[in-house]
Chain A
Amino acid sequence: MATETLTLGKALNTGLRRALENDPKVVIMGEDVGKLGGVFRITDGLQKDFGDQRVIDTPLAESGIIGTAVGLAIRGYRPVCEIQFDGFVYPAYDQIVSQVAKMHYRSQGKVRIPMVIRIPYGGGIGAVEHHSESPEAYFAHTAGLKVVTCANPQDAYVMIQQAIASDDPIVFLEPKRRYWEKGPVDLEAPLSEAYPLHSARVVRPGTAATVLAYGPMVRVALDAATAAAEDGRELEVIDLRTLSPLDLTAAYESVKRTGRCVVVHEAPGNLGMGSEIAARITEECFYSLEAPVLRVTGFDTPYPASRVEEEYLPDLDRVLDAVDRAFGW
């Protein structure tokens, strides 16, 4: 049967397996990705089946993971690097921003770095510090990188394969709190016919207001839309999926119809994705807006201790509160 019910984590695992099968130049590298299958088991069983030269347990140093992957890419490989947790990517930040992102540009197109940097990100799992961060804006701000994030098992399965097949260096953000959520995955649909990687998608049509979300917040936005519908407000929810480049085509079309827009993300609001999105929507939809674009985000604090993360993270009520404010403007 083509369609199976998989967790988001298993969908990623299956997508990685497919990529290893399809291209002998794909190598997976990271801390504990081999025998252990990664701390979240996303690479479970892959080293056993593809060997330790294709699924490489690396020393414990993130800059080394990315830096050596650059060399492998120059050699013609397509490295898929796993950074164990969002808060551990910063030792690799120099290699990502100064080397990975700029190599194609500096070489005037002669060097491609077809690298995927997988990062489990975001909070909501009761973790200790440095395990719940949302670093997407750092990477989306950097020319030469692309940044995508999946929100459901079907997208996880397809998008990871698309990212690996892409010639761009891609930061692939995985919503770790959604790893265990299940959904249908069509395992046989050809990749060539899949929905394009760098495109947003309307995941719930509506007429009253537009809610833009990505990654772990798509579920929150959909839940808010369900609740709002009970109050007679049909929210349109768009899963942005790609953060660099941003695809706001569907958002512009939607906001021009609804006149109201709320952007939701876990990352702090200050200079976050929501700021850029609000600016662009304001420029593009100025005469259609009934209220300013409102942002529902994490606060401008370090990620707090886990016993208060529920209050830090945007939830259904905060999204509905913002929608109410948009209507009360």
Chain B
Amino acid sequence: MAKGDPGVPTRGRRAAPRSKQAASAAAGDPELVQLLTAEGERIESATGPDGTEYRVDFTDEEYRGLYRDLVLVRKLDAEATALQRQGELGLWASLLGQEAAQVGSGRALRTQDMAFPTYREHGVLYCRGIDPIMPLGLFRGVDQGGWDPNEFKFNMYTIVIGAQTLHATGYAMGVAIDGKTGTDDGEAVIAYFGDGATSQGDVNEAFVWASVFNAPLVFFCQNNQYAISEPLERQTRVPLYRRAGGYGFPGVRVDGNDVLATYAVTRHALDNARLGQGPSLIEAYTYRMGAHTTSDDPTRYRIASEVEAWQAKDPIARMKAFLTKQQIADESFFTEIDEQARTESVHLRERVLNMPNPEPVTMFDHVYPHGSPELDVQRAQFTKYMESFEGSAH
């Protein structure tokens, strides 16, 4: 996607002819910010609960770029699921259904912004320009992440639910202390988490901290309706975005299957943060089309008709419909993207299969930055023990 700032959210501008109200009535939810309907109808602008007007102004090439991102991350994700089914990964947490939430927010990040993912943000990772092979070591079991957050401006995956929201908050406090906010090119931080995480103490503490320290932080909640088997109703009695009000910062619910609206809302929140206007909460309203992870069986806790209803809101189908109707892309483009996705996923598969197992003795590495005398002893004993098998038939 081209550089620049195609998202132009504006506050207090007069509503465009096709306003949000009309579209969201169709969606049956007056609270949802939407710029692209499930049918692929483009909405000129949408108004958030605080009166902020959201719009995007992408070039045709940028629209096509977003479509390519959506297709690519879905295909790579499907490949990872297949690799798990074939025993090549120990586990996979699929993003199926959440592509728009991740691509929209991921593309809204600027180079200098820092992201704190859960373990499902493969799409955001892709949009950060990171090689999609990077998180697969964790799921294959050859490492536990192993990348430098500061190199990629993308923290390691965090598996303990909600813990990373505090890390993001502290990092954002550091941004503020460093004096890197208050200008157009300031730094902002985004913390990803899910609907289940909103029940965690850490997430609520992060809300408090970010609020009282005015941290340059966007809390990005992908409400995919389920925490493994538990529906949203087990986590909350109020729409999640409204919780922000209790902590003293703005909250907005966006159609998380709408890549355009997600981009606009996230870009606006990030820019507010980088300008020194503090944190905000985005609830990206979406649906986990697949299982929680490959260890899960969603047919035990949800019915097919619900899944089908969300199938009709698919983020890629609506983008494809939009591109086709507007003649921004044609069948040859879609074929080309599918082919690119296929090539990249084959390439990913080949590299996963070639990931070597670590040498057992490396388990002693990096426990401490400068080692430990106790571990040195254990490593030496272990090495000697392993050497005692050499030459034997095992």
Contact = CB atoms under 8 A, between A and B. Distances in A.
Interface of A: 27, 53, 58-59, 61, 63-64, 66-77, 79, 91, 94-95, 98-99, 102-112, 143-144, 146, 167-168, 245-247
A69 B209 contact: no
B149 interface: yes
Given A63-B205, A110-B148, A99 B212 contact: no
B190 to A, nearest CB: 13
A74 B206 contact: no
13 contacts: A59-B205, A67-B169, A68-B166, A71-B166, A71-B168, A75-B178, A95-B202, A104-B369, A106-B146, A106-B156, A110-B147, A111-B149, A168-B369
Secondary structure at the A interface, as helix, strand, loop or mixed, is: mixed
B394 interface: no
A168 B368 contact: yes
Interface string B99-122: 000000000000000001000000
A245 B173 contact: no
7 tightest CB-CB pairs across the interface, nearest first?
A71-B170, A67-B166, A68-B170, A75-B174, A71-B171, A64-B205, A110-B148
Given A58-B209, A168-B368, A67 B156 contact: no
Contacts of B5: none
B144 A105 contact: yes
A67 B367 contact: no
Given A59-B209, A64-B206, A245-B373, A71 B174 contact: yes
Interface in B157-197: 158, 160, 163, 165-175, 177-178
Nearest to A108: B146
Contacts of B150: 74
Interface of B: 116, 143-151, 155-156, 158, 160, 163, 165-175, 177-178, 201-202, 205-206, 208-209, 212, 365-370, 372-374
Contacts of A61: 201, 205, 208-209
**Which of B155, B166, B168, B206 has the most chain A CB atoms inside 10 A of its CB?**
B166
A146 B148 CA distance: 23
B365 to A, nearest CB: 7
Nearest to A64: B205
Given A94-B202, A143-B367, A245-B373, 10 more contacts: A59-B208, A67-B165, A70-B170, A71-B166, A75-B170, A98-B163, A108-B143, A108-B365, A109-B365, A111-B148
A237 B162 CA distance: 46
A53 B171 contact: no
A245 B374 contact: yes
Contact of B174 (A64, A67, A72, A146): A72
A59 B247 CA distance: 13
Contacts of A246: 374
Given A63-B166, A110-B148, A111-B148, A71 B173 contact: yes
A104 B367 contact: yes
Contacts of A69: 170
B366 A74 contact: no
Nearest to B143: A108
Contacts of B367: 104-105, 143-144
B169 A68 contact: yes
Contacts of B144: 102, 105-106
Contacts of B165: 67
Contacts of A74: 149-150, 155, 167, 170-171
Contacts of A66: 166
Given A59-B208, A74-B167, A107 B147 contact: yes
A109 B144 CA distance: 12
A95 B160 CA distance: 9
A69 B103 CA distance: 29
Contacts of A94: 160, 163, 202
B147 A168 contact: no
B160 A98 contact: yes
Contacts of A77: 174, 177
B202 A167 contact: no
B201 to A, nearest CB: 6
A100 to B, nearest CB: 10
Contacts of A63: 166, 201-202, 205
A79 B169 CA distance: 14
Nearest to A60: B208
